[in-house]
Structure 1
Amino acid sequence: MFFVTFEHSPKHLSSLAQADSLIQTELSNFNIRQQQVRVSTIPVNPDFKRKKYHLGVPFQFSKTHFHAELNNRLHPYNVETPAHVTFPQEDMNIHLLYKETVIRTISLQTDPDLAYSRDQASLMIVFDEMPGESTIEQVQQYGEPIPIVLKINNPMQANEWRKRLGSRYNRIIFWLQNSNGTDLIKSNRSKAIDKLNQLQQVLPQAMMLYFSRSDESSADVKKEIIAKTKMTFVNGSNALILHHEMGKAVFFDKLESLQSPKSRSIALISGNTTTLNWLNQKLPELKKSGISIIPPPKANL
C-alpha cells in the first residue's frame, strides 16, 4: 500500500461518478485505450452495485507504477487503494476503499496479445548563452538523453564552451549564428561552410543543428553541407518550437502533441527558468503516457 502525506485537509468524493472520472483520467494518462477496458458490476446489496474495471495490459506494463499514480490521484479524496497480486500471473487487483466500503475494483491482467507500444520523441533545449551550473544540474536531473543547443558565432567560441562544460554534460549541439543572431547556414551558405570547416579542425566530433530553406530538399542540404564535412548534423527544420511566451497551457499542449503519430516527434525548447520548470512538470506525464525520449536523429549521409 502507498501512503502520501498532504498538508491540507483531504477532500471528499462528491459522488461515485467522480471516482469513475478520476479512474478514467489515470487510464488516459497511461495511454490505456478503451478497447483494453471492460466494466462489469457486482451486486453488493439491494441498493449498491460495485463497478469492476478489467484492464488488459502488455507484459512490460508496470502495474506497480499505475497503482502508485492512481493512489496519488485518489488519496486527496480520502480514498485508499489496497491491492494484492496473484502469482505466477502477477495480475493485480486494486480496491478503492472509501468510508470503509470498497466502491470500485480495478483488475490489471496481462494480455499476451498486446504489444507494448512506446512513441518516440526527441527534445532539445537551446540557450543563447552558456547555461549556469544549476541549469546544467536541472537538465541532468531529467535523466533523459536531452541535448543542450548552444548558439555560437565562431569555432573558438564553440571550443571554449566545450572546455567550460568539461565532463559535466556531454550532450551538446552547436547552432551556427551570424552576428545578428540568425541562422548562418540558412542566411549565408558559403560563409557557413567556411566556418564549419574551421570548426571541424577544432572540434571534429562536434554535432551541428541546421535548418533547411523552404526552397530546398533534405537531399540538397546533404549534398551542399553535410557531404562537405565529417561532422554530425541534426535537422531541426520540422521541430516544434516551444518558448515561455506561448504560455504554460500552450506549452503543455504542444508537448502532448508529440504523442500523436501525425505530429512532429522533435521539439526545440528555448531554455530558461520558466520553460525548464514546465518541462520538469510535464516530462513525467509524457513518459507515463508511453513516450520514450530518444536522442535527436542524425542527418548524416
Structure 2
Amino acid sequence: MKEQKKKRVIVLLLLISCMVSGFMLFNISDRPPAKLQSFAQADSLIAYELRSFSISDQQISRSSMEVDSTFSRKIYHIDLPAGFSKTQLHAELNRRFHALGVSTPARVSFSDQQMRIHLEYKGTVFRTVALHTDPDLVYHRDRASIIVAIERFPDDELLNTLTTFGEPIPIVLSINHPMEANELQKSLAGQYDRILFWLRNDENEDLMQHNPSVALRRLKQFENVLPNAKLLLSGSDNSPDAKNMAARTDLTFVDAREALYLHEYLGKASFLEELNKLKSGQSYSLAIITGNETTLHWLGEKLPELKKAGVELIPPPKINF
C-alpha cells in the first residue's frame, strides 16, 4: 500500500513538472521578438545616437530620395570634423538597431572620406546616414583623467578589468611608509605599471593633512628609497600646506586637490551621473574612484558613453613643485 502511494506521488510530481515546463515553453515561444515598430522610431533612435556623440543640429541636414511611387528614403547628411571616428558611430548605430532586426551595412569612400550607412529592414533600405568629413570643422575633445584608489593589494581580477578598459587609468595605493611602497611596486612589476602612492595614516587619513611633520619625513625617505615614485597630492586647494610640503622635495606628484571623488555608496545612478562632470563644460578633469568589482563594473558601462561624448582619457598630469 505504501509502495503504491509512493508511486502516485512520483507520478503527480512528474505531471506537475511537465505542466510547468510546458507553460514556460509556451510563454517563451509565444513572446514575439523585438522588432522595429515604425520608421519614426528609427528616426528617434538616430537622433538619440547623434546627440550622444555631441553632434549638433547645425551639422545635420536631411534630404529624401524617391525609390518608387509609394516610397521615399530619408537621407541624413552629417558633417564631421577630421579625426572623428565614423567607425565608432557606425558600431553604435549597429548595436542600437541590430536588436530590432535592422541591419546596417556601410560603404566607405576613401577618396572623399565619406561613409554611407544604410538601415535595412526586411530587405528594404529605408534610411541612409551619410557621414562627410568637413575640413572647416574642428574636433574638440575634452581631456580627463581617472584614478582608481585601492585600499589593499589589488587582485588579478581587478587588474585584468582595468587592463581590458584599454585606457591609461592608474591605480593609487595607500601606504604609510616608502618601504611599503617599494615592496608593492616590486610585487606588481609586470602586472600593472601605472601606479601612484598615497601617504595615509593607520586611520586611512591623508598623512600630509593630518600629520605634516611625519609626512615630510616620509617624503624625504621616499627620495632615498623610491625617488622615481609618483605620489598623490590630495586635500583642498585652499590649504597650501600640502603643496608647500611637496615643493620641499624633488618628488613627482599628481595634483588631486580638485578631484571628483566617487565610491560605491553613492549608488549606481548617482555614480554614473557624477561621471558626467568629466564631460564638456563641467568643472572637473580628474576623478578618483574607490575601486572594487562594483565600481569598476559601473565605470565599464560609462566609459563608452564618455568617449562618445568626446571625452579622451589621458594619464593624470604629473608635476614637480
Normalised TM-score (structure 1): 0.90
Of 218, 234, 257 in structure 1, the residue corresponding to residue 254 of structure 2 is 234
- Shift in Å, 1:44: 4.3
Contact 1:118 1:291 in 2 (8 A): yes
- For residues 78-99 of structure 1, what are the alpha-carbon distances to aligned partners after superposition, in whole Å with 9 as ceiling and x for unaligned? 1121222234113122121123
- Match for residue 37 of structure 2? 14
Greater helix content: 2
- The 1-side partners of 2:42 and 2:193 are apart by 46
Is the counterpart of residue 106 in structure 1 residue 126 in structure 2?
A: no
- Match for residue 282 of structure 1? 302
- The 1-side partners of 2:152 and 2:198 are apart by 12
- Match for residue 56 of structure 1? 79
Of 158, 162, 175 in structure 1, the residue corresponding to residue 181 of structure 2 is 158
Amino acid corresponding to residue 135 of structure 2 in structure 1? P
Select the structure of larger CA radius of gyration.
Answer: 2
- For residues 35-92 of structure 1, what are the alpha-carbon distances to aligned partners after superposition, in whole Å with 9 as ceiling and x for unaligned? 2111223344565443211100112222223222211110111112122223411312
- The 2-side partners of 1:150 and 1:9 are apart by 51
Is the counterpart of residue 251 in structure 1 residue 274 in structure 2?
A: no
Contact 2:233 2:242 in 1 (8 A): no
- The 2-side partners of 1:83 and 1:140 are apart by 31
Normalised TM-score (structure 2): 0.85
- The 2-side partners of 1:48 and 1:257 are apart by 44
Map 1:195-274; keep pairs closer than 5 Å.
195-213=218-236, 215-217=238-240, 221-222=242-243, 224-274=244-294
Pair 257,10 (structure 1): closer, same or farther in 2 beyond 3 Å: farther
Of 108, 121, 144 in structure 1, the residue corresponding to residue 144 of structure 2 is 121
Contact 2:77 2:131 in 1 (8 A): yes
- The 2-side partners of 1:101 and 1:190 are apart by 74
Map 1:57-76; keep pairs closer than 5 Å.
57-76=80-99
- Match for residue 54 of structure 2? 31
- Match for residue 12 of structure 2? none
Contact 2:237 2:258 in 1 (8 A): no
Of 190, 193, 208 in structure 1, the residue corresponding to residue 213 of structure 2 is 190
- Shift in Å, 1:258: 0.7
Indicate the percent of aligned positions where both proteins have the same amino acid: 49
- The 2-side partners of 1:180 and 1:251 are apart by 25
Contact 2:145 2:313 in 1 (8 A): yes
- The 2-side partners of 1:199 and 1:174 are apart by 11
- Give unpaired runs (5+ residues) of structure 2: 1-30
Q: How many residue pairs get matched?
A: 291
- Give unpaired runs (5+ residues) of structure 1: 1-7
